[in-house]
Amino acid sequence: MNEKNTKLTPEELEESGVAAFREEAAERLDELEEIMLELENNPSDQELVAAAFRALHTIKGSGGMFGFTEIESFTHNIESVYDQVRDGSLPVTDDLIALTLAAHDQIGKMLDSSEQSVDEIRKREGISNAFLNMLQKTPGEEEREDPKFIPEEELTNESQTFRVKFKPAVDIFAFGTNPLLLIDELRELGDCIVIGNTKALPALDEIDPESCYSAWDILLTTDKGVNAIKDVFIFVEDSAEVSIKIVESDDGLERQTTGKKLGEILVDRGDIKPEDLQKFLGNYERIGQKMEKEGLVAPEKVQSALAEQKQVQKLKDLRRKSETIQSIRVASHKLDKLVDLVGELVTGQARLSRLALEKNDPAILGVAEEIERLTAELRDNTMSVRMLNFGTTFNKFKRLVRDLSRELGMEVELTTEGGETELDKTVIDQLNDPLVHILRNSVDHGIETPEMRKAAGKPEMGRIQLSAVHSGAHVLIKISDDGSGLDLKAIREKAVNKNLIPAESKLTDSEIYNLIFEPGFSTASSITNVSGRGVGMDVVKKTIESMRGSVAIDSKKGEGTTITIKLPLTLAIIDGLLVEVGGEHFVIPLASVEECVELSKDDIERHHGRHVIRVRGQIVPYIRLREQFRINGQVPDIEQIVITDIERNRVGFVVDHVIGQHQTVIKNLSKIYRNVEAISGATIMADGNVALILDVNKHLQLVEKACQQQIENSS
C-alpha cells in the first residue's frame, strides 16, 4: 500500500546522482594523483598514461552529465593532451606532471565549492591555457619520431575481435545510464554482433520498470584497440560487470575450416563443463540443438557461441585476468549509526547474560549464550566494515613531501611500508593532521640540503620512511628520516631559556626529546613557510593522546630521527579492565595493562607510606584513584594495583577490587564535562550503571604536574 512512497522523486534522484558524482570524482582525483607520482618516476609506462586518461575522461564526462559544466570545460584540454600523450604525439615531462597536479588541485576545489575567488579563477584559466598551448605545439604526424609512447595494441592497423560481456547492475537506471546507448557506441567502433541475455527477466507481474534485468554478449571486430572499448564503459565501472577478452586477430580470419567447434566454444566460454560435452560427442544430431533439448544450456548462449564461431576462426588464449569487485557505497554517517546500534546491542546482551545467570534457568542460559555468540560476531563484522587500509592515505603524503622538497630546493623521497595495515576510518581521519605536521618538520629541519648531505658523506637525496604495523590491539606508525637528527644540547638550551626546565636539572635523552612537544617550542633559527621541528608538535601530541594513543621520539645526531605513534585500532569499542573503588566503577584500557598485584598495609609501611612498591625487583610508582577522585569510604585491608605501561614507564593504579575484563562500548561525555581531564569517555555496564573510562596518560601528567607545583611551593 505504501509502495509509491518508496519511489524517489526526480529531485531526489538528481541529488543522489550529484552526491555519487562527487564521491566518484574524489576517488578518480586520488587515483590521478597517485598515477602522476608514479609517472614521474616511470615516464614511459603506457599503462599509467592510459589510466590517467581514463580518470580524466571519467571526471569530464560525469561532470557534464551532472551539471558541473565548469569541471567539464576545464578538464577538456587536459584530457586532449593525455590523449595525444597516449598515442605518442607528446612526451611525459616534469612540466606536464607538475601542471597536471596543479589541475588536480583546482578540480578538487571546484568539487568542494561552487563559488571561487577571482585569484582561483585566474589560476584555473592559466592552467587551462598552458594545456592548450601544449596542444597547439603538438607536431604533425610526419614529425613523430619516438615510437616508445605508442601503445602496443596500436602499433598495427590490423583488426582484432573482442568478446565483450556486459551485465549492468539492476539499479543502473537510477544513475542516469542507458545501456543501449553504450552498445550503440560499440557499434561505432567496428563490426558488432550483439546477443541479448534475458534469463534473469522475471514474470511480467513481477517486473519493476525501473530495474534492468538484461545482459549482453557482444562480438566486436575493430582496429581501435582495447582502450577504445574500455572508454565506452568508463562511467559504469562500479555499476556493471564488464569483461573484455581478445578472441582473434586478422590473420586467423581467413582459415574458417580450422576454427573451434561449437562445443569447444561453449566450454571455452564457461557455459558448459567439459564432461557435459563428452556426453554429446558422436551424436549425429546438431550438438547445439541437442543441448537445448536436454536443458543443459540456454538458447541465447548457443546463439552467442554460434555467432562467435562464424565471426572468428580459432581463439587465441590471451584472456586478461580480471576480478569483478562487487561493492556498495555507504555514507560514513550510516556506518557510524550502525556502530552505535551494535554498541547498544553489546550492552543489552551483557544485561541479558547477567539476568540469565541470576535466574539460573537452562533454557534462558542457552538463549543468552547464543545471543552472546551472535552479538560478538556482529560486533566484529561491523567493526571490520569501518576498517580501511592505511595505505589509502599514503598518496597525499607523497604529494606533500614532493611539493615541500621542491619548494625548499631539496631532494627528498618518501617511501612507504605496511599500506595493507588496517585502521578504523575515524582513526585515519584524525591522524591526518598530526602526520602532516611531522612530515613537514622532517622535510624542513630534519633533512639537510644536498650540499650538506654530500659534505657529510650521505646521498644527496634524503629519505623519509612512513610505515605502519599491527602490534596487538594497537597499530604502530613510524616516521623515520635519515637527516641530521635532534641536537640534545640545542634542545636543552632552548628549554632553559624558555624556563621550561631548571638549568641544573638532570634529564634523560628521552625526556629532552619530549621537550619539543611543549607549546611553542622550536629550535628553528628563522621563520619560514614551513614550520621548524617543534612548532605544532604540541598539537600532534594532544591529538594523539585524545585518540588514546602515545607518541615517542628516538634520534641520533647526524643519522636521523624516528617518531613512533601508537594508536588503538578503533575508537568505538575496546577491551577494558573493570575495577571498583568505594562502590564506583572505572574502566582501564586493557591494552595498557601489564599485570595486577596486591597492595597490603605491610607493603605500605615497608615503603614508609610513599606511593611506590617493589614488583619483581623493580620500583613502580602508583596513583591512588580514591585520592584522585576524592572517594570516601572504608579502605579494604588488601587493595589491588593495576600495573600499566605508559610511554615505556610502568605506573600502578590502586583500586579496591579488580572485577575483570569488560567489553567496553565507548560513549562520549556530554559537553558539560568537556573540561574534565583524565576521563576519555564512559560505558554502560550490564546492571545499567555507568563506569568512567580512564585516560591513564592524562592521569600521570596531572599527578606529575601536581608534584611539580608542590616542589615549587615548598621551595
Higher pLDDT, 250 or 422: 422
Q: Residue 339 is placed in which grid cell?
A: 556502530
713, pLDDT greater than 90: no
The arrangement of strands across the sheet holding 474-481 comes to 412-417, 462-471, 474-481, 560-568, 550-556
What's residue 657's pLDDT?
A: 92
> Mean pLDDT of all residues in the chain?
78
580, pLDDT greater than 60: yes
Q: Residue 509 is placed in which grid cell?
A: 635523552
C-alpha angle 675/679/683, rounded to 5°?
120
Of the given ranges (203-207, 272-276, 336-340, 658-662), which has the lowest mean pLDDT? Answer: 272-276
At 18-43, the pLDDT tens digits run: 777 787 788 888 888 888 888 888 88
What's residue 590's pLDDT?
A: 85
What's residue 269's pLDDT?
A: 58
280 found inside a domain = no
Question: Phi, psi at residue 596, to the nearest 5°?
Answer: -125, 135
Of the given ranges (136-150, 513-527, 567-581), which has the lowest mean pLDDT? Answer: 136-150
Q: Residue 217 is placed in which grid cell?
A: 554478449
What's residue 672's pLDDT?
A: 75
With residue 579 as reference, give the H or E element that holds it. strand 573-581
278, pLDDT greater than 60: no
Helix H, strand E, coil C: the string for 60-114 is: HHHHHHCCCHHHHHHHHHHHHHHHHHHCCCCCCCHHHHHHHHHHHHHHHHHHHCC
Question: Phi, psi at residue 502, to the nearest 5°?
Answer: -70, 150
Tell me the C-alpha distance between 171 and 182, whole Å: 16
With residue 150 as reference, give the H or E element that holds it. none
Tell me the C-alpha distance between 220 and 168, whole Å: 18
Are 184 and 140 found together in one domain? no
Q: What is the mean pLDDT of residues 638-659?
A: 89
284, pLDDT greater than 70: no
CATH code: domain of residue 97: 1.20.120.160
Cβ-proximal residues to 209 (8 Å cutoff; 6+ apart), any chain: none
CB 243 within 8 A of CB 165: yes
Q: Identify the domain containing residue 141 by its residue range.
A: 3-149
Of the given ranges (9-13, 119-123, 160-164), which has the lowest mean pLDDT? Answer: 9-13
CB 245 within 8 A of CB 205: no
pLDDT-based confidence at 379, cuts 50/70/90? Answer: confident
Are 217 and 232 found together in one domain? yes
What's residue 47's pLDDT?
A: 83
300 found inside a domain = no
250, pLDDT greater than 80: no
80, pLDDT greater than 50: yes
Q: What is the mean pLDDT of residues 347-372?
A: 88
CATH code: domain of residue 541: 3.30.565.10
pLDDT-based confidence at 616, cuts 50/70/90? Answer: confident
253, pLDDT greater than 50: no
597, pLDDT greater than 90: yes
With residue 673 as reference, give the H or E element that holds it. none
Percent of the chain at pLDDT > 70 equals 79
Are 557 and 414 found together in one domain? yes
What's residue 562's pLDDT?
A: 92
Q: What is the mean pLDDT of residues 206-217?
A: 88
287 found inside a domain = no
What's residue 302's pLDDT?
A: 61
Are 516 and 561 found together in one domain? yes
What's residue 256's pLDDT?
A: 35
Are 599 and 520 found together in one domain? no
Higher pLDDT, 276 or 695: 695
User: What is the bridge-based pairing of β-strands 584-589 and 690-694?
Assistant: parallel
Higher pLDDT, 141 or 526: 526
What's residue 480's pLDDT?
A: 93
C-alpha angle 170/175/179, rounded to 5°?
60
Tell me the C-alpha distance between 698 and 387, whole Å: 27
pLDDT-based confidence at 262, cuts 50/70/90? Answer: low
Cβ-proximal residues to 567 (8 Å cutoff; 6+ apart), any chain: 423, 427, 431, 474, 475, 477, 544, 547, 548, 549
What's residue 579's pLDDT?
A: 93
Q: What is the mean pLDDT of residues 551-571?
A: 87
| Domain's final residue, options 348, 369, 386 | 386
Q: Residue 202 is placed in which grid cell?
A: 522475471
What's residue 143's pLDDT?
A: 39
252, pLDDT greater than 60: no
358 found inside a domain = yes
Higher pLDDT, 472 or 85: 85
Helix axes 332-359, 362-385, angle to 10 degrees: 160
Scan for cell 546500534, then name that residue.
341
C-alpha angle 111/115/118, rounded to 5°?
115
By 3-state DSSP, what share of the chain in percent is helix, strand and coil, each rounded to 5? 50, 20, 30
Look at the chain and report how many structural domains it folds into.
5
Beta strands per DSSP E along 509-559: 550-556
Beta strands per DSSP E along 277-317: none
CB 219 within 8 A of CB 193: yes
What's residue 314's pLDDT?
A: 36
268, pLDDT greater than 70: no
Long-range Cβ pairs for the range 51-57 (8 Å, 24+) = 52/82, 52/100, 53/79, 53/82, 53/83, 53/85, 53/86, 53/227, 54/230, 54/231, 54/234, 55/28, 55/29, 55/31, 56/32, 56/82, 57/231, 57/234
Q: Residue 575 is placed in which grid cell?
A: 577491551
684 found inside a domain = yes
| Domain's final residue, options 543, 568, 593 | 568
CATH code: domain of residue 616: 2.40.50.180
Look at the pTM and tell me if it is higher than 0.85. no
304, pLDDT greater than 70: no
| Domain's final residue, options 120, 149, 178 | 149
What's residue 19's pLDDT?
A: 73
At 523-556, the pLDDT tens digits run: 555 545 444 444 468 888 888 888 878 888 989 8
CB 546 within 8 A of CB 666: no
Helix axes 394-407, 425-441, angle to 10 degrees: 20
Are 705 and 636 found together in one domain? yes
Of the given ranges (147-156, 244-253, 578-587), which has the lowest mean pLDDT? Answer: 147-156
pLDDT-based confidence at 586, cuts 50/70/90? Answer: very high
Are 124 and 220 found together in one domain? no
643, pLDDT greater than 90: yes
Are 373 and 417 found together in one domain? no
At 385-408, the pLDDT tens digits run: 888 888 877 878 888 888 888 888
Q: What is the mean pLDDT of residues 59-63?
A: 81
Q: Residue 636 is placed in which grid cell?
A: 579494604
Are 37 and 77 found together in one domain? yes
What's residue 446's pLDDT?
A: 85
145, pLDDT greater than 60: no
Tell me the C-alpha distance between 231 and 53, whole Å: 9
Q: What is the mean pLDDT of residues 60-84?
A: 83
CB 615 within 8 A of CB 597: yes
Question: Phi, psi at residue 536, to the nearest 5°?
Answer: 90, -5
680 found inside a domain = yes
What's residue 464's pLDDT?
A: 92
Are 98 and 179 found together in one domain? no
What's residue 655's pLDDT?
A: 94
Are 396 and 528 found together in one domain? yes
Q: Residue 579 is placed in which grid cell?
A: 575495577
At 659-693, the pLDDT tens digits run: 988 877 777 777 777 677 788 888 887 777 888 88
Are 104 and 158 found together in one domain? no
Q: What is the mean pLDDT of residues 158-177?
A: 84
215 found inside a domain = yes
Of the given ranges (149-158, 176-185, 419-428, 492-501), which has the lowest mean pLDDT? Answer: 149-158
**Count of Cβ atoms closer than 10 Å to residue 343 Cβ:** 21
Buried b (16+ CB within 10 A) or exposed e, 382-405: bbeebbbebbebbbebbbbbbebb
Tell me the C-alpha distance between 499 and 494, whole Å: 9
148, pLDDT greater than 60: no
What's residue 479's pLDDT?
A: 93
Q: Residue 453 is placed in which grid cell?
A: 648531505
Burial of residue 502 (CB within 10 Å: 0-12, 13-18, 19+) is exposed
At 101-135, the pLDDT tens digits run: 888 888 888 887 766 777 778 888 888 888 888 88
**Count of Cβ atoms closer than 10 Å to residue 648 Cβ:** 8
313 found inside a domain = no
Tell me the C-alpha distance between 219 and 245, whole Å: 10
